[in-house]
Amino acid sequence: MSSPNSGNVGIVIVSHSSKIAEGAADMVRQMVGHAVPLAWTGGDVDGGLGTNVAGILEAIETAWSPAGVAILVDLGGAETNSEMAVEMLPEDRRARVVVCNAPVVEGAVIAATEASGGSSLAAVKRSAEEFYA
Amino acid sequence: MTLDRTTRERLVRAMAEAVIAHADELTGLDQAIGDGDHGVNMKRGFEAVLATLPGLANKPIAEMLKTIGTTLVMKVGGASGPLVGTFFMELGKALPENPVRADLVVATDKAINAVKARGRSDAGQKTLLDVLVPVQAVLAEGGNAEAIAAEAERAADRTIPMLAIRGRASFLGERSIGHMDPGSRSVSLLIGAAVTTLEREANS
């Protein structure tokens, strides 16, 4: 995980599989380089398939940007755990993190591309979700 | 109802041990219609809760429930961690220190609504809400411990013919029919352990 300082919206990738999360992050890096803060997390706390709130909170911290953070998730638990993580953030950060309703790989690439141009959090989320629609 | 320190400790221990003892059964249910990790996940979460005893029982009831909720959220994973964790956290927020039944009725209603919001779900979709909602109704109607525990068991059984609308089992469509919802079973175990312990303490 790495996140250079950037004013752009950050991207967090959450998958049940750390390999999928890491692979999706690789694809994002290939597309947009280091223009956006990026972090990924995958697996349960024992390293098996699953998602965990602590890992998601850490990823949000890593990809934090004053412009906000867009989270891309795969299956149900990833979404539920991500929403839980957002609620557990300090109040001043809560409104600046969104979970996108988009496929994790395609959504992450499109969201990051949009973010790399300096778009707002709302625009980043919209782009990721429009792809799915 | 006075929940002294000893009662609180017994209550938490009974709930955790009920889930841990049935971990294999829960995993078996989840293997049929989910991803097969429910038993392991719940066991990990409640082992973490057990590890915070006996200190946990020194906390006021609200703090104790919130700590249980947070521990489950952080340790269980899956969708169950946030759902069951939210229930305990919200219950903690809503309960006064020495709750009477009316307080419990109000607090469980609030906690159930929070679970509905977290899962964007409602009763009838083959989830833990199919146990929480009817059991809460028995509590509100004045049912005793036996009636509450019996309804929890029956409600979990009633998820067997249901079609899953939310959660991983919903991917299976009609193949989700004929299996008990693992989350419903977990919650029925927790409720059974809780009311049995409280009843025993009240009569002792």
pLDDT over 90 at A98, yes or no: yes
**Per the domain annotation, does A20 fall within a domain?**
yes
Tally helices (H) and strands (E) across chain A: 6, 4
Mean pLDDT of B157-176: 92
Against a cut of 0.95, is the pTM above it? no
Task: Say if residues B15 and B193 touch (Cβ distance below 8 Å).
Answer: yes
**Per the domain annotation, does A74 fall within a domain?**
yes
Q: Do B41 and A50 touch (CB under 8 A)?
A: yes
- Sort out which chain B residues have CB atoms less than 8 A from A46's CB and list them: 44
Determine the pLDDT at residue B85. Answer: 97
Of A48, A54, A80, the CB nearest to B79: A80
Determine the pLDDT at residue A95. Answer: 95
**Per the domain annotation, does A69 fall within a domain?**
yes
**Per the domain annotation, does A26 fall within a domain?**
yes
**Per the domain annotation, does A4 fall within a domain?**
no
Mean pLDDT of B78-95: 95
**Per the domain annotation, does A132 fall within a domain?**
no
CA A122, CA A38: separation in Å to the nearest integer? 17
Task: Look at residue A100 and give its three-state secondary structure.
Answer: strand
Q: Is A80 an 8 Å CB contact of chain B?
A: yes
Task: Please provide the average confidence, as pLDDT, over all residues in chain B.
Answer: 94
Per the structure, the count of domains in chain A is: 1
Q: What are the CA-CA distances from residue A61 to residues A4, A51, A125, B137 (Å)?
A: 12, 16, 19, 42
Domain that holds residue A28: 10-125
Task: Say if residues B33 and B179 touch (Cβ distance below 8 Å).
Answer: yes
> In this prediction, what percent of chain B has a pLDDT beyond 70?
100
CA distance A117 to chain B (A): 33
- Sort out which chain B residues have CB atoms less than 8 A from A83's CB and list them: 82, 118
Mean pLDDT of B143-166: 96
Task: Look at residue B164 and give its three-state secondary structure.
Answer: coil
Instruction: Please write the tens of the pLDDT for every residue from B28-83.
Output: 999 999 888 999 999 999 999 999 999 999 999 999 999 999 999 999 988 899 99
CATH of the domain at A29: 3.40.50.510
**Per the domain annotation, does A111 fall within a domain?**
yes
Instruction: Please write the tens of the pLDDT for every residue from B116-144.
Output: 999 999 999 999 999 999 999 999 999 99
Task: Look at residue A36 and give its three-state secondary structure.
Answer: coil
* Element at A41 (helix H, strand E): strand A38-42
**Per the domain annotation, does A114 fall within a domain?**
yes
Determine the pLDDT at residue A4. Answer: 52
